[in-house]
Structure 1
Amino acid sequence: MSAVSWLDGEAFTALGQHVIWSDMLGNTIGLIGLALGWRRSVATWPVQCLSGLVLIAANLYAHLAGGVGKQFVVIVVALWGWWQWRAGNRRGQDGSIAVRFASWRERGLLVAAAALGTAAVGGLFTALPQLSWNPWPDAYIFVGTLVAMIAQARGLVEFWFAWLLVDLVGVPLDFASGLAFSGFVYVLYGALVLWGMRDWWLRSRDTARPVPEGAAA
């Protein structure tokens, strides 16, 4: 049995939902990656790369081209984010990853990119139905994930808001696509996202607070 065949095999059945290995393993690794992101650990990026590799198999199984494309995007952006955080240009005075709220200009760019990207990818999936059986939600998740990861790589608190918006569509789509474990895990993602959002929000206030004169001496 090949590795791909094993990943597409059934791990267990719960509440009438069949859970395949690639879905379970990929999302468990992704959950670890999100927790590391909350802790502002550079290790979040290689873990997200590994999660993306495993979830490619899950989305191929479910015939979700947008999901496959999303995982390729996850891997590429995770490599870029890894370089950003390791380069040190996102670090505060204490050496940890600095986080902040986006400027209004940055927020506008993120929203515009999400809207235009979803329209473009959704139009492509609609024109080529063999790529996705549910084109618009699939496109929304594809583009939303890209926007969220770019915001994370730049240390923006809005990263967490973007993930919440992706989850609102991702959970029902995963259940409808036969990726039950993804649906269950995304519910856990929601709780972790709220926790991480609070932590980054508080840390952004510390980052913005001016350093008293003489404190750096």
Structure 2
Amino acid sequence: MVGNLLGLAALAFGWKRSMWTWPVQVLSGVVLVAAYASAQLSGGVGKQLIVIVVSVWGWFQWQRGRRGSGDIRVRFATWKERLLLAVGTAAGTCAVAGLFLAFPKLSWAPWPDAYIFVGTLAAMVAQARGWVEFWFAWLAVDLVGVPLAFTSGLPFSGLVYIVYFALVLLGLRAWWKRSRIPAPTAEPALEGAPA
């Protein structure tokens, strides 16, 4: 429960483009690693370890992006970036599902688990890049995650995913509007000021 609530907080910070989104996501991952390890769910542990690594990478990406303007710039991905994200997500889902099928102890629902796993990583990569498509990736994950959680007997996780869904819609709206604000240009020199 604590790990999922921290995940919600990380998403809310992401909505506000706050740097806190990344350390809170790392903390959520650490808590969930401990929870999955205690339940002997090695697939969940592996997922959270990768989420922690991607969160640290995203944190550095946002730090680097803020150095120029002090703000996280958001934009829509180019068509090439979207294609790479979609192809990477599809190929990754097939690869992870193949791993889950080869090692059934890792997952009892290989395809949905693989899709959620890879979709989560795709969303985090898009978030680190400041792409509005980050929110669409989360919506796609939630459309599979909510029913899977309820049918798996995990109603709390299902309810958390429903809250995620609402936050994602609000975040998508905020980032969409933010992407429409033109980037600031260099200020012209004041009249009479030395060049």
**Paired residue for 2:45?**
68
Q: CA deviation at 1:175?
A: 2.4
**Paired residue for 1:142?**
117
Q: 1:37 to 1:210 in 2, by over 3 A?
A: closer
For residues 211 and 157 of structure 1, the distance between their equivalents in structure 2, rounded to whole angstroms, comes to 19
CA deviation profile, 1:36-67 (whole Å, cap 9, x unmatched):
00010001000001111112244446665443
2:89 aligned with 1:109, yes or no?
Answer: no
Q: Tell me the TM-score normalised to structure 2 length.
A: 0.89
CA RMSD of aligned residues (A): 2.1
Task: Say which of 182, 193, 213 aligns to 2:168.
Answer: 193
**Paired residue for 1:38?**
15
Q: Tell me the TM-score normalised to structure 1 length.
A: 0.80
Task: Say which of 152, 155, 177 aligns to 1:177.
Answer: 152
Contact 1:64 1:138 in 2 (8 A): no
Q: Amino acid of the residue matched to residue 76 of structure 2? A: F
Q: Amino acid of the residue matched to residue 101 of structure 2? A: T
Structure 2, unaligned stretches of length 5 or more? 191-195
CA deviation profile, 1:81-124 (whole Å, cap 9, x unmatched):
1111112x25674x210000000000000000000000011011
Further displaced range: 134-143 or 170-179: 170-179
**How many matched pairs?**
190
For residues 63 and 173 of structure 1, the distance between their equivalents in structure 2, rounded to whole angstroms, comes to 20
Q: 1:61 to 1:184 in 2, by over 3 A?
A: farther
**Paired residue for 1:165?**
140
Match of 2:153, SS?
coil
Q: CA deviation at 1:212?
A: 7.2
**Paired residue for 2:130?**
155
Further displaced range: 56-65 or 142-151: 56-65
The percent of aligned pairs where both chains have the same amino acid is 65
Q: Amino acid of the residue matched to residue 77 of structure 2? A: A
Q: Which structure has more strand as a fraction of its residues?
A: 1
Match of 1:133, SS?
coil
**Paired residue for 2:93?**
118
Structure 1, unaligned stretches of length 5 or more? 1-23
Q: Amino acid of the residue matched to residue 57 of structure 2? A: W
Q: Amino acid of the residue matched to residue 4 of structure 2? A: N
